[in-house]
C-alpha cells in the first residue's frame, strides 16, 4: 500500500509552521491508499447499451434503454486489486459514454465526453480498463444527455469486493429509481421547464431494481448487507428500516469509522449506502422499508417477509475503516475556493443553473477550471447555495469529508463523493485529491447539470 510518502517528506520543511492544512494531511495519511495495487488478474466484461422492452415497474412491458438488456444493468463484481476491463458497444440512437461514479481511476477512464474521451458514437466500441483503489459499492452511467439516458434505464452497479468479504448471510443490491410514466410509457419530454425550475424530474413510480413490488423473503436470524444506490434523476430518499436493527456501514462505497443509524440519512441522487441488517430470531411480522424524505408523504420502497427455519446469525463486528480523519481544526484552514451555486434566466432551456455565475454549456465547450488543486494536499472548499432549490454536489475522482453546514462543524464519520446541499445552505468540505487530471464537479440532479450546473477542477502534480 503506497501512502503519501512524497507529500509527507515534502512537509518536513514546513513542520513548525503550524498550518492546519499540514495537520489535516498528516491525519489523513492512512485513510486510503494513494495508488492501486493490481494483482494482475483482469476481469473482462462486455456491455452493450441498446433500446429494449422489459417488464418493469408493475410488470407491464416498458420501452427502455438498457445495458445488456436489463434494468438495472448487470452488477459487475471484481475483487480489490483486480483490473476491470469493459468492452462497451453503443447501440443507442445517440452518442454516449460510461462514467464510473465514485471510482478513483485514471482520468482518461472517467467517461466524460470531450474532456477525457471522445463520445462513443452509435455503432462504436470503447474499452474502459482500470484497477479500482477502493473496495465498495460504485455505479456506472452515461455522461452524455444523462437526464435522458439515465432516466431511460442506463445504469448499473459496480461492486469492488474486499479481499476477505465479511461473512454476511447474504448480500442484496438495491437500485432505487423513480420513473415518470404516462400512458404506460416513459414520459417522452426531458428537461421540461418544470423539471428545470424545480429539483429535476421526480417520477410517479418508485422502484427497487425496476419493480414497485419488491418483497424479500428472509429467514429469521439472517444478517444481510444491502448495497443501496439512488439512481434517480432528482428524487432524494430517507430510508427508514423501522423496527429492524439496521446500520449504515459504508457511504459512497467506503466504510465508516463506525456504523451509524440509517434513519435520517439523505440518500441523494448518486449516493450509495451499505446497510447491515439483522433479522431477529423472534421476528415474525413483515417489515417495510419506507422513504421518509418528506415526513408527510412516505413511500414504501420494499418489504421483508420473514419465514422459514431459524438460521444462526453470523457474528462479527460491522466492518469499519480505521482512519477517517476528524479534521477538527480544518475550519481554520483557508478556503481554497468558494463555489457559488445559483440560477439565472437564459440559455438553451430558458433557465440556467450556475456555478460561480457560469453555466456549463455542454462538455464540448471547455471552460477554464473553477479551481486548481494540488495532488496529495489537503484543501478546504466552501459551497454557497444562493438558490432556493437543493443540489446534491458530486465530485469525480475524489472523496471529500463534510466539515460544516452553515458554519456549524459536523463530524460525519465517513467520506463522500456526493453531498446534498439544501436550499440557501452553505457547507465546507475537506479533500485530499489523489489523482491528477481534469475532474468534473456537478450537481447530480441531472436536469440541473444539463442546464449548466457543472464545472471542472484541475488536480495538478505538486511542484
Ligand atoms: Cu454520477 Cu458526473 O456523475
Ligand atoms: Cu461521478
Ligand atoms: Cu442542482
pLDDT digits (tens, 9 = 90+) for 63-76: 999 999 999 999 99
Where residue 179 falls among pLDDT bands split at 50, 70, 90?
very high
**Strand duo 83-90 + 42-56: pairing:** parallel
CA 192 – ligand 1 centroid, Å: 21
Is a pLDDT exceeding 50 seen at residue 14?
no
Task: Give the pLDDT mean for 435-439.
Answer: 97
CA 113 – ligand 3 centroid, Å: 20
pLDDT digits (tens, 9 = 90+) for 195-231: 999 999 999 999 999 999 999 999 999 999 999 999 9
Is a pLDDT exceeding 80 seen at residue 437?
yes
pLDDT digits (tens, 9 = 90+) for 323-357: 999 999 999 999 999 999 999 999 999 999 999 99
Helix 20-28 to helix 5-12 angle (10° resolution) is 150
CA 438 – ligand 3 centroid, Å: 21
CB 150 within 8 A of CB 175: no
Where residue 21 falls among pLDDT bands split at 50, 70, 90?
very high
pLDDT for res 284: 67
Counting atoms of ligand 1 from 1, which one is nearest the CA of 418? 1
pLDDT for res 239: 98
Q: What is the rounded CA–CA span in Å between residue 440 and residue 156?
A: 20
Is a pLDDT exceeding 70 seen at residue 12?
no
CB 317 within 8 A of CB 256: no
Q: What is the rounded CA–CA span in Å between residue 22 and residue 249?
A: 29
CA 18 – ligand 2 centroid, Å: 34
Note residues around ion ligand 3 (Cβ under 5 angstroms). 391, 443, 445, 448
Q: What is the rounded CA–CA span in Å between residue 148 and residue 449?
A: 12
In terms of Cα–Cα distance, which of 170, 139, 122, 135 is closest to 37? 135
Counting atoms of ligand 1 from 1, which one is nearest the CA of 139? 1
| Closest CA to ligand 1's atom 3 | 101
pLDDT digits (tens, 9 = 90+) for 50-66: 999 999 999 999 999 99
Task: Give the pLDDT mean for 417-432.
Answer: 98
Distant-in-sequence contacts of 243-246, Cβ < 8 A, 24+ apart = 243/285, 243/287, 244/277, 244/278, 244/279, 244/287, 244/304, 245/277, 245/278, 245/280, 246/275, 246/276, 246/277
Counting atoms of ligand 1 from 1, which one is nearest the CA of 454? 2
State the Cα angle at 360 between 454 and 383, rounded to 5°: 40
Counting atoms of ligand 1 from 1, which one is nearest the CA of 143? 2
Closest listed ligand to the CA of 453: 3
Name which residue leads in pLDDT, 9 or 447. 447
Percent of the chain clearing pLDDT 90 (strictly above)? 92
Where residue 8 falls among pLDDT bands split at 50, 70, 90?
very low
pLDDT for res 322: 85
Mean pLDDT score of the chain: 94
Residues enclosing ligand 1, CB less than 6 A? 99, 101, 141, 143, 270, 394, 396, 440, 442, 444
Counting atoms of ligand 1 from 1, which one is nearest the CA of 102? 1
How many residues are recorded in the chain?
A: 463
DSSP of 42-102, one letter per residue?
Answer: EEEEEEEEEEEEEEEBTTEEEEEEEETTBSS-PPEEEETT-EEEEEEEE-SSS-B--EEET
**Strand duo 99-101 + 136-141: pairing:** antiparallel
Is a pLDDT exceeding 90 seen at residue 135?
yes
pLDDT for res 15: 45
Name which residue leads in pLDDT, 22 or 286. 22
Closest listed ligand to the CA of 421: 3
pLDDT digits (tens, 9 = 90+) for 359-393: 998 877 778 999 999 999 999 999 999 999 999 99
CA 449 – ligand 3 centroid, Å: 7
Is a pLDDT exceeding 90 seen at residue 266?
yes
CA 379 – ligand 1 centroid, Å: 22
pTM comes to: 0.95
Amino acid at each position: 500500500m503506497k501512502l503519501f510518502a512524497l507529500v509527507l517528506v515534502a512537509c518536513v520543511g514546513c513542520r513548525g509552521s503550524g498550518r492546519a492544512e499540514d495537520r489535516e494531511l498528516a491525519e489523513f495519511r492512512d485513510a486510503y491508499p494513494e495508488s492501486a495495487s493490481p494483482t494482475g488478474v483482469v476481469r473482462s466484461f462486455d456491455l452493450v447499451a441498446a433500446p429494449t422492452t422489459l417488464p418493469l415497474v408493475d410488470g407491464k412491458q416498458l420501452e427502455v434503454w438498457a445495458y445488456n438488456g436489463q434494468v438495472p444493468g448487470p452488477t459487475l463484481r471484481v475483487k480489490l486489486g483486480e483490473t476491470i476491463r469493459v468492452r462497451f458497444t453503443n447501440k443507442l440512437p445517440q452518442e454516449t459514454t460510461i462514467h464510473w461514479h465514485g471510482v478513483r481511476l485514471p482520468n482518461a477512464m472517467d467517461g466524460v465526453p470531450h474532456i477525457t474521451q471522445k463520445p462513443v458514437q452509435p455503432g462504436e466500441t470503447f474499452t474502459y480498463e482500470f484497477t479500482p483503489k477502493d473496495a465498495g459499492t460504485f455505479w456506472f452511467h452515461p455522461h452524455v444527455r444523462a437526464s435522458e439516458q439515465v432516466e431511460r434505464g442506463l445504469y448499473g452497479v459496480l461492486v469492488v469486493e474486499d479481499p476477505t468479504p465479511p461473512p454476511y448471510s447474504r448480500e442484496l443490491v438495491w437500485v432505487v429509481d423513480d420513473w415518470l410514466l404516462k400512458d404506460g410509457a416513459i414520459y417522452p419530454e426531458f428537461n421540461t421547464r418544470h423539471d428545470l425550475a424545480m429539483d429535476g424530474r421526480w417520477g410517479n413510480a418508485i422502484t427497487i431494481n425496476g419493480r414497485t413490488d419488491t418483497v424479500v423473503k428472509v429467514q429469521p436470524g439472517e444478517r444481510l448487507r444491502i448495497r443501496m444506490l439512488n439512481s434517480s434523476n432528482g428524487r432524494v430518499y430517507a430510508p427508514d428500516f423501522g423496527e429492524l436493527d439496521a446500520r449504515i456501514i459504508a457511504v459512497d462505497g467506503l466504510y465508516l469509522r463506525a456504523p451509524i443509524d440509517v434513519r435520517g440519512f439523505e440518500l441523494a441522487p448518486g449516493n450509495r449506502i451499505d446497510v447491515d441488517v439483522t433479522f431477529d430470531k423472534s421476528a415474525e411480522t413483515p417489515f417495510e422499508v419506507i422513504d421518509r424524505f418528506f415526513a408527510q408523504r412516505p413511500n414504501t420502497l420494499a418489504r421483508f417477509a420473514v419465514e422459514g427455519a431459524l438460521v444462526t446469525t453470523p457474528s462479527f463486528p460491522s466492518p469499519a475503516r480505521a482512519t477517517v480523519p476528524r479534521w477538527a481544526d480544518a475550519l481554520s484552514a483557508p478556503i481554497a475556493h468558494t463555489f457559488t451555486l445559483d440560477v439565472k434566466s437564459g440559455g438553451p432551456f430558458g433557465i440556467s443553473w450556475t456555478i460561480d455565475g457560469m453555466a456549463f454549456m455542454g462538455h464540448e465547450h471547455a471552460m477554464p477550471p473553477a479551481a486548481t488543486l494540488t495532488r496529495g494536499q489537503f484543501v478546504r472548499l466552501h459551497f454557497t447555495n444562493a438558490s432556493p432549490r437543493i443540489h446534491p454536489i458530486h465530485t469525480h475522482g475524489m472523496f471529500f469529508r463534510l466539515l460544516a453546514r452553515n458554519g456549524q462543524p459536523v463530524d460525519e464519520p465517513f467520506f463522500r463523493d456526493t453531498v446534498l446541499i439544501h436550499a440557501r445552505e452553505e457547507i465546507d468540505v475537506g479533500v485530499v485529491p489523489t489523482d491528477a487530471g481534469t475532474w468534473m464537479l456537478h450537481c447530480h440532479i441531472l436536469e440541473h447539470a444539463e442546464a449548466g450546473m457543472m464545472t471542472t477542477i484541475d488536480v495538478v502534480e505538486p511542484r
